[in-house]
Amino acid sequence: MRAIAVDVDGTLTDRSRRISTTAIEAVREAEATGVPVIIASGNVLPVAWALHRFIGTSGPVVAENGCLVSHRGVNHDIADSEPARRAFEVLSGRWGLKRLFTDQWRRNEVVFETVPFLDEIVA
């Protein structure tokens, strides 16, 4: 096996977003056998990178739903943020959407708080 990629939400964490120590132990066992583990998350790079650092994985870190890859101190932007930012400006002007707190650290995506009228927005 050349590498293992693990998602964070629902894989390394439970439904309440608490880290599973059993999952962390399995990741560390894989690393101990020489198999690099890649942390993959929809979350921002600082969160994904911190997990990579604290767990002790050696593979790249994939953040923002694949829009950003970080490896050996070099960040690679996979997507252009401008279309998402323009779309958010239009949507927020029309529906008053608010960005998530962690969105201030996003480089390539825009994420907003869940709203009760989301069905109307996507229709």
Exposure letters 94-114 (e unless 16+ CB within 10 A, then b): eeebeeeeeeeebebbbbbee
Q: Are strands 61-63 and 68-71 parallel, antiparallel or unpaired?
A: antiparallel
pLDDT score of 117:
66
Residue 121 · residue 115 · CB < 8 Å: yes
User: Would you list the domain boundaries of the chain?
Assistant: 4-77, 82-122
pTM for the whole thing?
A: 0.81
Superfamily of domain 4-77: HAD superfamily/HAD-like (3.40.50.1000)
Angle between helices 21-32 and 45-55 (to 10 degrees): 70
Average pLDDT over residues 97-103: 84
Instruction: Tell whether the model's pLDDT for residue 95 goes beyond 90.
Output: no
The residues carrying an active-site annotation are 7
pLDDT tens, 13-51?
988 989 999 999 999 999 999 999 999 999 999 999 999
